[in-house]
Amino acid sequence: MNRLLPIFMKLENQPCIVVGGGKIAYQKIKQLLEGEADITVKSPAISEEIRSLPVTIQKTAYQKNDVDGYKLVIAATDDVNVNRQVYEDAQQYGIPVNVVDQPELCSFYMGSVFQDGDVKVAVSTNGKCPSFGKFIRDHIKNMSKGVWGKALEKLALQRVKIINSISSYSQKKQVMEKLVNSTKNNFIPKQVKRGKVFIVGAGPGDPELITVKGLQAIQNADVILHDALVHPHLVFEINPNAEKIFVGKREGKHSVSQATIQSL
């Protein structure tokens, strides 16, 4: 279970240090710059990408207690001994620390972040699979389609008027919830997708003989139309969440008409 406390930290003009000068360090620095932090980068080797950023560069190896005086620490080196030293020093000074790809040496994680204006969503996988966090972030981005930030701006203006005109907190909350619900159709992009139909010839034989493409079609289906001959495993166990509709035909006995099947 994920017991992490989600917190959005104010780092504007706050001193932060990134130990490391490679590609991973660059990615972390970019995230810190979004919060307008005052960043120091310490490493014997600094990439050209990092040199081009508005950061303070210390082209020296990390020494014990170099984290003293900083508000936040990130270690992004390929030296496990340096990473552990950074972690231990940060713990000693009570400074939040993140050691990249070493969850056991982190007091906080940097999640996958989606941002649209003042809307910011951070996804945590508890350090177990950052790639899945990025997948979820991209899914949220596709849902927003650049609309949510603008919607928030409009709602914020209306919220100011509501706050100034209503004294009761509970009433303010109620009015705002009604406002959001009444206008949500304006900021939830309409997604109209054209459906696809796959005809999978499974037959009454061994279900393990089904083709790979046929199996994938069943796994990804939202609705499965099936007859009485197909093996139950293929219909009910491969994709238990899909809607199942029986359209089987026997001589003189049709469960549904052909016209109904075509309309489905």
Q: Is 213 part of the annotated catalytic residue set?
A: no
Active site residue 227: yes
Output the DSSP codes for 63-116.
-TTTTTT-SEEEE--S-HHHHHHHHHHHHHHT--EEETT-GGG-SS---EEEEE
- Per annotation, catalytic residue among 79, 227, 244, 253: 227
Q: How many angstroms separate the CA atoms of 226 and 239, rounded?
A: 13
DSSP-derived letter for residue 209 is G
C-alpha distances in Å from residue 157, one per residue of 14, 179, 182, 188: 30, 12, 16, 19
Helices (H), the chain: 23-34, 48-51, 80-93, 130-144, 148-165, 169-187, 212-220, 232, 258-263
Tokens of 42: 């310490």
Instruction: Find, among 63, 223, 34, 16, the residue nearest to 122 by Cα.
Output: 34
Active-site annotation holder among 134, 141, 150, 249: 249
Query: What is the distance between the alpha carbons of residues 42 and 61, in angstroms, rounded to a whole number?
Result: 7
Catalytic residue annotation: 227, 249
